[in-house]
Amino acid sequence: MLYHSASMTSRAQALLLDVAIAVASHYLWFKPYEPTSYSTIPAAALLLTSPVIYLLRRSLTSTLQSVVLAESVYISALLASIVGYRLSPWHPLASCPGPLLCKVTKIWAAYIAWTGKAHVYYAQLHTTYGRIVRIGPNDISVTEKELFPHILGAQGMPKGPVWANRRTVTSRDAKGHRNLHAVRDLALHSELRKPWNKAFSKDPMKDYEVVMKKNAAILVEQLHEQCDREKEPVVDFAKWLSFYSFDFMGDMVFGQSYNFMRDGDPKGIWDVMQESLVWPSIGQHVPWIAPLSTLFPSLMRPSKTFRNFAAKQAKARAQSEPAQRDLFYHLIRNTEVEPGTSVLPLIMTDAVLAIFAGSDTTATMLCNMVYYLLRYPEWMDRIRHELDDALGLGENRTAASGFEQVPELDTLADLKVLNAVIYETLRLQPSVPTILQRSPAQDGSRGKQLGDMFLPEGNTVQVPPYAVHRDVKYFSPRPNDFWPERWLQAGSQDTIDRSAFIPFSMGPASCVGRHLALKQLRYTICVLLKNFNIRFADGYQVNRWEEGLKDRFLMVKGELSVVLSARLS
């Protein structure tokens, strides 16, 4: 009896030691270093608990029992310590309200990302909890515009770890990574940004405008052929605008057209590009899942296929000199490249960025604008009337179709109704709806002051444009409604805070191609409205489009069925 009591006491003491080791390893190892290695963690856990295993062996019948009990208690105590700290008043983000699950684990954020509705979820959180919300154990989301300069501005913070995490889950080799979109070092970002700024200056833009008009002409030609074959064809306009954007990107970025508008997409490149966004959008929240990627080959296959496609385009461009001056012509010209060295590394580094930015974001903006014009056709009529007035057509409006009846790009930039519709579309559906993430630099400052709160190193902050743009403080009335009139008049009861309008982000990392994107939006929409009558296909559920939009960092789109008919002059 005395032996049994002593054995129980010895076992209890061993387990108390086990708990103490777990708590200590949390604060001394997991918290400062956040280990993720699937080999290091088990080995270290076994080593740390070896004294406990030795003590338990005295009171248990086998070594295996001792190991299982010691490791079970260690893991349980470690998890309890981590969760307890994250929910405790001593956590640096304890004062920030938010859902319990968000405070406890990023697995919940990964689940929300998997649903594709992160933009809607974060907007709901801000409606419930306010303009500063805790969305992760070490993450906050901010819609308070006074804090934007300290987050995104020139005196803001470098990009957060989500960028490195996206790279981790899509590529096993990140050595020498100097991608403009993902680099977190502020000085390096500034250096890499300079040739991009020059590549989108006034003279290069003229080259891109030629390419834009050429591809818009092909789009109209192909749609007219559809109308010639069938009086009022039903088409998936999202597909056509996506193919148009991809062909434009090919010409503008790599100096070659993929001819998707003429030949279709037999290899399914566009679908692969969209699908390649799924796994990174989930894994960016839980980078420790990367080693498990081999267990999900169907999820990983699109990312691998698209990387191979981008690499192939980069190699082809590096080995040729296109007849026209494309993006990489201007980037190479404005980048210090030693004579005789290959330009392939430079092209390869930014190929994926250029493909997505030059095609996917543009297609999203165009599709959303067409959707809203179809849903609110009075604005379609107002744009057409504004175009006719700009051309001085007077009462002769019925003859106004064709390219010759579209004003010059500089004139389009001054059309108030057209731009009001564009701004309202970008307000409601920004192409990058959530993940504008930043994190304090590890520069010895130990963090960043954000208004009344201090954000320590190791924590992140995101600014979600989708939620910002639907905040009644900045856009009222009817912040969730499509109402372009808000941009045309500013009455005493109306609010438009343009400093909170950030569809292209803001600061040093804002979208370098935003001016080209706006030009393309204005021109393409005007050409389409001048050449075609467009309406929803019979039976198409109007709410289906917005419900089908999925936030994968960029927006993934569904089908947009419309009926076309040519506007004859």
Peptide bond into 484 cis (omega under 30): no
Give yes or no for a contact between 115 and 122, defined as CB atoms under 8 angstroms apart: no
Annotated binding site for heme: 511
In a domain, 496, yes or no: yes
Both 80 and 210 in one domain: the answer is: no
Higher confidence at residue 509 or residue 33?
509
| 460 domain-assigned | yes
* 80 and 211 fall within a common domain: no
In a domain, 142, yes or no: no
Give the pLDDT confidence score for residue 490 in this predicted structure: 63
Question: Helical H runs in 230-264?
Answer: 237-249, 260-263
Mean pLDDT of the chain: 89
Nearest one of 502, 488, 280, 289 to 379, comparing CA atoms:
488
Same domain, 369 and 509: yes
**553 and 404 share one domain:** yes
> Residues 217, 342: one domain?
yes
Residue 357 pLDDT greater than 70, yes or no: yes
**Are 80 and 195 in a shared domain?**
no
The pLDDT of residue 437 is above 50: yes
Whether residues 61 and 207 share a domain: the answer is no
Q: Do 309 and 200 have their domain in common?
A: yes
**What is the band of 7 on the pLDDT scale with cuts at 50, 70, 90?**
low
For range 120-139, the mean pLDDT: 97
**Are 117 and 550 in contact, with CB atoms under 8 Å apart?**
yes
Would residue 180 count as lying in a domain? no
> How many CB atoms are located within 10 Å of the residue 5 CB?
9
CB 382 within 8 A of CB 353: no
Asked whether residue 176 is assigned to any structural domain, the reply reads no
Binding residue positions: 511
In three-state secondary structure terms, 456 is strand
**pLDDT-derived band at 204, boundaries 50, 70, 90:** very high
Residue position matching structure tokens 């963690």? 41
- The mean pLDDT of 230-247, rounded to a whole number, is 96
Q: 């501005």: which residue's tokens?
A: 153
| Residues 431 and 538 placed together within one structural domain of the fold | yes
In-domain check, residue 174: no
Max Cα-Cα span within the chain? 108
80/192 same-domain check: no
Span 215-225, pLDDT tens digits:
999 999 999 99
Q: What is the pLDDT of residue 395?
A: 58
Least confidently predicted of 55-69, 228-242, 414-428:
55-69
Q: Please state which of the ranges 148-157, 195-204, 287-296 shows the lowest mean pLDDT.
A: 287-296
Q: How confident is the model at residue 479 (pLDDT cuts 50, 70, 90)?
A: very high
Is 80 exceeded by the pLDDT of residue 5?
no
Judgement on whether residues 252 and 375 belong to the same structural domain of the protein: yes
Q: Are residues 203 and 80 in the same domain?
A: no
Q: Where is the domain boundary, 68, 87, 106?
A: 87
Question: Which residues fall within 8 angstroms of residue 139, CB to CB, at 6 or more apart?
Answer: 93, 106, 109, 459, 460, 461, 462
For the chain, what is the domain count?
A: 2
In eight-state DSSP terms, residue 287 is G
Of the candidates 19, 53, 87, which is a domain's last residue?
87
Helices 202-229 and 237-249 pack at an angle, to 10 degrees, of 140
**Domain range for residue 55?**
2-87
CATH code of the domain in which 445 resides: 1.10.630.10
Provide DSSP, 63-108: HHHHHHHHHHHHHHHHHHHHHHHHHSTTSTTTTS---HHHHH-THH
Domain boundary pick from 69, 87, 105: 87
- What does pTM read for this prediction? 0.92
Inside any domain, residue 155: no
**Is residue 132 included in any domain, yes or no?**
no
Report pLDDT digits (tens) over 166-185.
665 554 433 444 677 778 88
Per-residue model confidence (pLDDT) at position 17: 93
